[in-house]
Structure 1
Amino acid sequence: MDDCVSMSTPMATERLDADLQGTPTDQTTYRRMIGGLMYLTASRPDIAFATFVCARYQAHPTVKHLKEVKRIFRYLRQSYKMGLWYPKDSKFKLIAYSDADHAGCKDDCKSTSEGLQLLGENIVSWSSKKQDCTAMSTTEAKYVSLFACCAQVMWMRTKLLDYEYKYNKIPMY
């Protein structure tokens, strides 16, 4: 890794697909690389989306997929000083964000839901998941994503109630 060229972004702008005609690569090595990246996503959410997109192709990885995984490692090489910072005297306000793309996966035209929950200025929960259903419109994809985000917020609200933090109004964006 010392001799590789650094990257400024973890993923290329083009979407990754199954690449059925591509040259297969070693499945075990690919899975180990993905496992290492998944471990890092706990403290590096900036690589989460790219890692999870590459993780979809663990069953039949090709050289194209391996190239994208190596790109993430090259991005990490130049951004090793980045990470999350949690200041101790931040406010305790619960805020949620939700978004979705429409038909983002080239293989099956399913959308991807993204959600993020903040407690004050601190990120406490986030998700990026391919939706189970195929949305017929952007609005439908966003409603499915909003539902998943709302379910997470309701669970968090219940858990925070155990610590006697009561939230009547939780903004969702």
Structure 2
Amino acid sequence: MRQPPGFESPDTQLVCKLNKSLYGLKQSPRAWFDKFSKVVKMLGYRQGQADHTLFVKHSNHGHITILIVYVDDIIVTGDDSHEMTNIKLMLAKEFEVKDLGPLRYFLGMEIARNRKGISVSQRKYTLDLLAETGMLGCKPSRTPLELGNKQALLEGKPVDVGSYQRLVGKLIYLSHTRPDIAFAVSLVSQYMHSPCQGHLDAVYRILRYLKLTPGRGLFFAKTDDRSVSAFTDADWAGSISDRRSTSGYCTMVWGNLVTWRSKKQSVVARSSAEAEYRAMAHGLCELIWIRRVLQELKMDVPHPMQLFCDNKSTISIAHNPVHHDRTKHVEVDRHFIKEKLDAGLIIIHYIPTSNQLADILTKGLPEPSHEVLVGKLGLINIYDPA
């Protein structure tokens, strides 16, 4: 134990005793959240089971108030202005809170509103990252990944592991509002423990792409569409190091992109249909989770939900249980998807590859295809001149 900087005392044996800490201790966030949830529940809020950081309160007049917490950052929203004012006052009595007004900036995310909808971007975070890495003056790239040169990823001398991990970690956080870089970030994050120069070059390629579009972000448009759908895709044996496939899915709620994922599969798929089937199972799980969240918010859930896939063999296997010998290796996923189909929870549609939104989450694409899918996913740059 040592005296902290700024503490001056002639007795060098004195140290400071820490009474409370929210950061740095493993048990402190859990203790804080336990205290916070008890207070909120006493005020009539119900904790979500699909998302434990979500608290909901329905009034007798059909209004709703939603409270979302991330450690010690809280968002309050809803259509009951009286209850929103009341919850702020009650929280101020129990905790030291500060009302920052309408939501404009939250955990590095910038929120803007207009009559057409809400935009969420990380422009300042992106520019700070480019300045930190010295890439503000670099030549921009049109795509986040170089095409047709996968072998270059594995070439070159080893680089500093610590700086590589910090840089990729910041890109992972940036991908929370940038699905257009999700696959590229997923690819470079697979080599966190032993990166080489090829991996670092791929990271700088992503930064050059961000230089071109620093203000791009998600746009949630006002719409009368109340459908819930998912797009699933897989790149069969896309990894040249272990020949594992990459799964990708994205889900749309009321016509807007809400969740997406790009992840290498845990086992080697022996066929493209198997790889697609595993991706379909992941997308179905996400749809079920979204359905639970909407039900807890007492929102209308369309029945059935739609799942889009661009592989006809996979769709055929999902509907036809006769292919037993050919589907032993995906038996669990097959029964899972067939059960949800029979229950009428989902309906599976074939979609051409050119319209497959999840294609951007499984492989690098040429610039024209990349930009088309970026537009279809609802990514816009509100800072572009009109």
TM-score in same-fold range (> 0.5): yes
Contact between 1:111 and 1:141, CA under 8 Å: does it hold in 2?
Answer: yes
Residue 160 of structure 2 corresponds to: 26
Indicate if the aligned counterparts of 1:94 and 1:118 stay in contact, CA closer than 8 A.
yes
Relative to 1, partners in 2 of residues 1:16 and 1:51: Cα closer, same or farther, differing over 3 Å? farther
| In 2, Cα distance between equivalents of 1:144 and 1:41 | 23
Q: 2:241 aligns with which of 107, 117, 120?
A: 107
Gaps of 5+ in 2: 1-134, 309-386
Sort the Cα spacing of 1:12 and 1:18 in 2 relative to 1 into closer, same or farther, 3 A.
Answer: closer
**Residue aligning to 1:79:** 213
Report runs of 4+ in structure 1 exceeding 6 Å deviation: none
Q: TM-score, normalised by structure 1?
A: 0.93
Q: What is the match of residue 144 of structure 1?
A: 278
Give the drift of 1:110. 0.6
Please list the CA deviations of residues 77-113 of structure 1 after superposition, one character each: whole Å capped at 9, or x if unmatched.
Answer: 0111321111234522101100001101111111011
Q: List runs of 5+ in structure 1 lacking aligned partners.
A: none
Letter in 2 for 1:4: C
Q: Which residue pairs with 2:261 in the alignment?
A: 127
Distance 1:147 1:91 in 2: 25
Write the mapping of 1:39-118 to structure 2, written as runs, cut at 5 A.
39-118=173-252
Q: CA deviation at 1:127?
A: 0.9
* Structure with more contact order per residue of length (Cα contacts < 8 Å, sep ≥ 6): 1
CA contact (8 A) 2:237 2:245 kept: yes
Structure 1 residue 44 displacement after superposition: 1.1
Amino acid at match of 1:15: K
Partners of 1:163 and 1:43 lie apart in 2 by: 23
CA distance in 2, matches of 1:166, 1:85: 22
- What are the Cα deviations for residues 41-96 of structure 1, in whole angstroms up to 9, with x where unaligned? 01111111101100001111111110110110011001113211112345221011
RMSD over equivalenced CA pairs, Å: 1.5
Q: Does the aligned pair in 2 maintain the 1:22–1:64 contact within 8 Å?
A: yes
How far does the alpha carbon of each residue in 1:2-29 deviate from its partner, in whole angstroms, 9 at most, with x for none? 331111110111326772x630101111
**Which one has a larger percent strand, Structure 1 or Structure 2?**
2
SS at match of 1:56: helix
Structure 1 stretch 117-126 or stretch 160-169: which is displaced more?
Answer: 160-169
Q: Which has the larger radius of gyration?
A: 2
Aligned length: 172
Tell me the distance in 2 between the aligned counterparts of 1:67 and 1:94: 38
**Contact preservation (8 Å) 1:18, 1:107:** no
Q: CA, structure 1 residues 38+44, in 2 after alignment: closer, same or farther (shift >3 Å)? A: same
Q: Mean Cα displacement is larger for which, 104-113 or 88-97? A: 88-97
Secondary structure, in 3 states, of the residue corresponding to 2:220? coil
For the residues of structure 1 that align with 2:244 and 2:145, how far apart are their CA atoms? 19
1:154 and 2:284 are equivalent in the alignment: no
Q: d(CA) in 2 for partners of 1:16 and 1:128? A: 20
Alignment counterpart, residue 10 of structure 1, candidates 144, 156, 173: 144
Q: For the residues of structure 1 that align with 2:229 and 2:223, how far apart are their CA atoms?
A: 17
CA distance in 1, matches of 2:285, 2:272: 20
Select 1:168's aligned residue among 295, 300, 303. 303
Report if the CA contact (8 A) 2:164-2:195 is conserved. yes
| 1:172 alignment partner, SS class | strand
Q: Scaled by the length of structure 2, what TM-score is found? A: 0.43
Identity value in percent: 34
Matches of 1:65 and 1:38, distance apart in 2: 15
Partner letter of residue 35 of structure 1? Answer: G
User: 3-state SS of the aligned residue for 2:150?
Assistant: coil
